């Protein structure tokens, strides 16, 4: 069985995997393994944009309460606070990395108002190609600094005395590869492909959830599934 070693192993190449790989590869040796081609993910399909409170009429508390209300108060408040407080900083970080969010004729960033947001605070890129713009920008940066293994499927985490030491991976030819790593990050997305009608990318089959569960992780809130209203499937029943 083939073996390779790396300091950091990132499993998945959506926005979560690529952002962390981009950051950590400044200082560490990073390997990204991904099930299909680099960047093929739900992230690349994301359209609407990213919300962040960035104007004087807005604040992190506004954004926090909009989010909590939309979540019918089920949200983890500590994490929601972290998310909305860090939003503007992360947005600036993406702009510094080269993401071109859409601007108006006067040079100001366009901000949209959608869903449960009470204020216009959604930034988009290329119209409705926000995800693609972000993923393309991140790919440009990580491909210079990371080892990238495309068409590699992680099938299990390696656990040694309660510690994760990497992952067992299968390549397109069906050969098994052991990737030893000091740090392993699961960024394999959700499980939308479990449904027959879905807008999710074909790669999004819940693999990471299953691997984490087999490794002993506790999974929570699995009933929350992202869906898109345009994927509504109607069934016509005729009564005679
Ligand atoms: C059509 C659509 C529109 C959306 N619009 C928006 C929007 O406007 N705004 C917004 O905030 N969110 C939106 N979302 C949701 C958003 O895209 C996701 O929440 C986000 O992209 C998830 O990022 P991620 O990196 O966690 O996972 P993903 O982007 O799904 O990436 C998962 C990665 O893991 C890889 N992978 C999976 N299993 C394995 C395995 N076993 N081995 C190796 N690699 C594996 C996949 O190939 C993929 O590269 C949208 C989603 C869809 C589908």
CA atoms of 2 and 185, how far apart (whole Å): 21
Ligand 1 center from residue 14 Cα (angstroms): 5
Identify the CA nearest to 84 among candidates 100, 70, 105, 101: 70
Position in ligand 1 atom list of the atom nearest CA 48 = 8
Going from the Cα of 200 to the center of ligand 1, the distance in angstroms, rounded, reads 8
Q: How far is the CA of 238 from the centre of ligand 1 (A)?
A: 38
Q: Is this structure's pTM higher than 0.85?
A: yes
How does pLDDT run across 159-211, given as a tens digit for each residue?
Answer: 999 999 999 999 999 999 999 999 999 999 999 999 888 889 999 999 999 99
pLDDT (tens digit per residue) in 103-142:
999 999 999 998 899 999 999 999 999 999 999 999 999 9
Q: Is the CB of 51 under 6 A from ligand 1?
A: no
Ligand 1 close to Cβ of residue 193 (< 6 A) = no
- Give the residue extent of every domain in the chain: 1-47+130-240, 56-128
Q: What is the CATH number of domain 1-47+130-240?
A: 3.50.50.60
SS3 helix, strand, coil % of the chain, rounded to 5?
Answer: 30, 20, 45
Question: Ligand 1 centroid to 223 CA: how many Å?
Answer: 17
């Amino acid at each position: 069985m083939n073996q390779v070693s790396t300091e950091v192993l990132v499993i998945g190449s959506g926005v979560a995997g690529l952002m962390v790989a981009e950051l950590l590869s400044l200082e560490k040796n990073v390997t990204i393994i991904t099930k299909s081609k680099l960047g093929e993910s739900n992230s690349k399909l994301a359209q609407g944009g990213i919300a962040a409170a960035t104007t004087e009429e807005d604040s992190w508390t506004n954004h926090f309460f909009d989010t909590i209300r939309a979540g019918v108060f089920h949200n983890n408040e500590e994490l929601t606070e972290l998310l909305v407080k860090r939003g503007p900083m992360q947005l600036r970080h993406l702009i510094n990395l080269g993401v071109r969010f859409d601007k108006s004729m006067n040079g100001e960033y366009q901000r949209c108002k959608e869903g449960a947001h009470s204020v216009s605070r959604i930034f988009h890129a290329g119209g409705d190609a926000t995800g693609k713009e972000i993923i393309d920008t991140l790919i440009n940066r990580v491909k210079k600094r990371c080892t990238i293994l495309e068409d590699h499927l992680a099938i299990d985490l390696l656990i040694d005395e309660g510690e994760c030491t990497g992952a067992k991976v299968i390549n397109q030819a069906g050969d098994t590869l052991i990737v030893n790593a000091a740090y392993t990050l699961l960024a394999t997305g959700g499980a939308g492909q479990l449904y027959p009608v879905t807008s999710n990318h074909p790669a999004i089959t819940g693999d990471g959830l299953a691997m984490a569960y087999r490794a002993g992780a506790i999974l929570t809130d699995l009933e929350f599934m992202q869906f898109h209203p345009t994927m509504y499937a109607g069934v016509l029943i005729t009564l005679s």
